[in-house]
Amino acid sequence: MIQIREPAVADYFYPADSGELSATIHQMLHEAPVLHTAAPKALIVPHAGYIYSGPVAATAYASLRPHRDEYTRVVLLGPQPSGCGPGPGHERRRHVPHTTG
């Protein structure tokens, strides 16, 4: 069974409005410094509220931009924030108020 979790902290750590959220993310990515590095094999990216770690996360993700045609698969790993729920291997989805535009 697929579980869809609604945003629990929208408007606390990131904008609840999808347009504002999209604009915030695009602005952070636009302001991220350009890094001239080899294609990363892995990234460790913070996921605290955007006001705390957004620019650092944007810099990490922006480092992928010059190499985007080199990737065929991306795997995201992260903790279960609440510590509850089914373990790995269960399909879970989150409703994220974001549009890629």
pLDDT tens track, the chain, 101 positions: 677 777 788 888 888 898 998 999 999 999 999 888 899 999 999 888 888 899 999 999 999 999 989 998 888 887 766 655 555 555 555 555 554 44
Q: Domain of residue 81: give its range.
A: 3-94
Q: Is residue 75 part of a domain?
A: yes
What is the reported pTM? Answer: 0.70
- Are the beta carbons of 92 and 5 closer than 8 angstroms? yes
Q: Is residue 59 part of a domain?
A: yes
Q: Is residue 30 part of a domain?
A: yes
Q: Is residue 101 part of a domain?
A: no
Q: Is residue 99 part of a domain?
A: no
Structurally, how many domains does the chain consist of?
A: 1
Q: Is residue 100 part of a domain?
A: no
Q: Is residue 28 part of a domain?
A: yes
